[in-house]
Amino acid sequence: MKKIAIVFTLLFLGLANLSKGDEGMWIPLLIEKFNIQDMQEKGFKLSAEDIYSINQACIMDAIVIFGRGCTGELVSDKGLLLTNHHCGYGAIQRHSSIEHDYLTDGFWAMNQQEELPNPDLKVTFLNSIEDVTSKVLKGVKNNFSEKERQELINENIKTIGEDAVGETDLKASVKPFYYGNQYFMFIYKEYKDVRLVGAPPSAIGKFGGDTDNWMWPRHTGDFSIFRIYADKDNNPAEYSADNVPYKPKKFLPISIKGLNEGDFTWVLGYPGSTNNYITSDAIKLTKDVRNPNRIKVRDKRIEIMNSYMDANDTIRIKYASKNAGASNSWKRWKGEIIGLNRLNTVEKKLELEAQFIEWASKKDEYKDVISELSKVYNEGEDYVVASDYYWESIKSIEIVRFASQFDKLIEMAETEEEDEFAKEIERLNKTMNSFYKDYVKAIDKDIFNGLLPMYYSNVDKRFYPEIEETVLNNSEAFIESLYKSTVFTNQERMKILLETKEGIKELSDDPIYKFYTAFNKVFVDKVNPISDSLNRRIQLLYRSYMKGLMKMQKDKVLFPDANFTMRVSYGKVAGFSPRDGVEYKYYTTLDGVIEKDNPNIYDYDVPEKLKEVYIAKDFGRYEVNGTVPVCFIATNHTTGGNSGSPVLDAEGNLIGLNFDRAWDGIMSDMEFDPERSRNVTLDIRYLLFIVDKFAGAGHLLEEMTIIE
């Protein structure tokens, strides 16, 4: 359901000159207006209509949201989809067991009948984008309170979405941009039958593991392959053996012509979240308080998981995804601190704020914005610390987090809403099966013992729950008593309790559930109300600050922060120098994979089959100078959510899969550094080489359009 009319309401912007750097995550709808000339001057050979169009098939139609937080792209007319290995990791892990260890051995379906369904996995296509600012702000008056303003905006958004999708199976999402100075509506279509087609072993797909994560050079074959299925009319459908491969409006041709330093590249995907316009106080809070606290807690949690995983293969499989999830942000936070300090980001923000204060000195709407933001950040620091420790310590204890999912059911046991009650029981039974499959009580108990004291040592006493005296006296004995008496660690007993409302009511007296509710009460009563109030003030102040900033810098087009909506970023293939005397090339090769081989280190244990292919030099059409390209870097501005995004050449051909950023520029969510900020991409030639020469799954390549 695409609309021909597009309304632009950028009345508050003095849009003159686009920044000439590679920084920016741009809205596809506005590429024609603000970016296309700059892109073409840098080497882009297509039109804006080729990227985003409401009148014809375009590259946008080949891109999907994969799952809940990644990007994927279609590469065949039979619904074949590529994304990162780490994006498909959860699905691969859920299909894995000791008997079929797809994490270690990889998985390759040699025909469509062997492809594996994933009941909880979906992909989402973007159908259209519309600027709806005027509709969202319709009726909003200057004398409204913030509460009145937001209530009317919410009503308008609801009406706009309902009118847009009607009785169709489409979904509407209206998102604020520039802190609520502008709004766009995105219309989506979801497909729920997504099957696993292929995945390399983790020794390829996760090569280098946490050691190489966020680093350059990289030698990681970070990809997995899925297929979208639809009903016989090509419409979304729940999994069925009768479903057929989805026929896309557009799929991406693949180029193996190669690339050189300086070549134009661009990325089309779903960056999750950036904060490029936050103030100096927010930067200081991040690098001096929040990141150090969160790193400290995860140090302990990861250390405990690693000790068990290193000693037991079954546990390694069970905890692989959990460990990877914990390690990812942990390492990024470390890099952010280093990068923000290196760039003197706080000092730069202070300089900008001084300019803003001078500019706004005679403008009542803006003159107190900076001082008020500083005041709010100072007021909120204790609450931020308490919240971070709650989520990183208390809610990172698996059994506590699991118990928290029973809140709704316990409440419903007091009512007579039988239909909804039955649905909640069904949902929790699925949740339980997934939880117990990968749960190890000994690990959880050690993590509990490691993390609980950290909460009490670092959080203000105002945020201690009523159980604090017992815990402080002997936390280990207290935790031991919880595990001895809880039913939440006993799957069979839990199944029995869920069969009756009387059994469900018993859960409210369980010691683990009571532990969770004691902490939850603190946050519901003491933390959340103040935090929510402060956040509302911050959002209101940033709305004014952003509006004023764009007026003050009227010679610039300021790109909007990422918010997990489709964006275009573009740049060039480029190496960089991280420090004096060190120069990084823009590419890595299979030679480097073999050089890193170490059978004694799980992250660097190269599969024997890959070594055999290397020794035989069986590189086929993917060979370049006696080896195979593996990864490359470029100056495209990316962040989390861009994982799996297509990296494209000047003609719109797929040349790689974005999967990471280089450590030296990892603070780009807050400040982009054109000298060092690099997105890390899996070279499509290495992907094809692994599928063809390593896996022997050449039938998949036959579906693709490959340009040589």
Q: Where are the alpha helices (DSSP H) in 251-344?
A: 280-285, 291-309, 313-342
* pLDDT category of residue 352 using cuts at 50, 70 and 90: very high
Given a contact cutoff of 8 angstroms between Cβ atoms, the answer to whether 689 and 593 are in contact is no
Gyration radius (Cα) of the chain, Å: 26
Mean pLDDT (whole number) for 172-200 = 98
Both tokens assigned to 707: 């340009």
Which are the catalytic amino acids?
86, 222, 643
Structure confidence at residue 6 as a pLDDT band (50, 70, 90) = very low
Q: What is the pLDDT of residue 412?
A: 84
Band (pLDDT 50/70/90 cuts) for residue 472 is confident
In this prediction, residues 59-77 reach a mean pLDDT of 97
CA angle 354, 356, 361 (to 5 degrees): 95
For residue 572, what are the contacts with CB-CB under 8 A and spacing of at least 6?
Answer: 22, 42, 43, 261, 262, 263, 264, 265, 634, 635
pLDDT at 696 over 70: yes
pLDDT tens digits for range 335-351: 999 999 999 999 999 99
Residue 165 near residue 127 (C-beta atoms within 8 A)? no
| Reported confidence tier of residue 10, pLDDT bands at 50, 70, 90 | very low
Mean of the pLDDT values across residues 5-33?
Answer: 61
Per-residue pLDDT tens over the stretch 218-261? 999 999 999 999 999 999 999 999 999 999 999 999 999 999 99
Q: What are phi and psi of 570, to 5 degrees?
A: -150, 155
pLDDT at 418 over 90: no
* pLDDT, average across residues 642-650: 98
Q: How far is CA 411 from the centre of its chain?
A: 32
- Distance from CA of residue 296 to its chain's centroid? 22
List of residues 6+ apart from 398 with CB closer than 8 A: 435, 439, 444, 447
Mean pLDDT over all residues of the chain?
93
Q: Which amino acid is at 89?
A: Y
Q: Which of 167-176, 414-423, 448-457 has the lowest mean pLDDT?
A: 414-423
Least confident of 170-174, 472-476, 666-670: 472-476
17 pLDDT higher than 80: no
Q: Which domains does the chain have, with CATH numbers?
A: 1-122+192-267+564-708 (2.40.10.120), 280-548 (no CATH)
pLDDT tops 50 at residue 9: no
The Cα 304–Cα 448 span in angstroms is: 10
- Which position has the token pair 């989390």? 640
Percentage of residues of the chain with pLDDT beyond 90: 82
Distant-in-sequence, close-in-space partners of 419: CB < 8 Å, separation ≥ 6 = none
- Residue 560 neighbours by CB under 8 Å, 6+ apart: 25, 27, 177, 178, 182
pLDDT category, 317, cuts 50, 70, 90?
confident
Regarding pTM above 0.85, the answer is: yes
Alpha carbon distance 46, 51 (integer Å): 8
Q: Within the chain, how many helices (H) and strands (E) appear?
A: 28, 24
pLDDT at 267: 98
Output the pLDDT for position 417: 67
Q: Strands (DSSP E) along 548-623, which ranges?
A: 556-557, 567-572, 576-579, 582-584, 587-589
- CA 514 – CA 521 distance, rounded (Å): 10
Contact 237, 229 (CB under 8 A): yes
Q: Is the pLDDT of residue 86 over 50?
A: yes
Candidate from 47-61, 203-217, 461-475, 594-608 with smallest mean pLDDT? 461-475
Task: State how beta strands 254-255 and 706-707 pair.
Answer: parallel
Q: Which pLDDT score is estimated for 416?
A: 61
Buried b (16+ CB within 10 A) or exposed e, 141-159: eeeeeeeebbebbeebbee
Residues of the chain above pLDDT 70, percent: 96
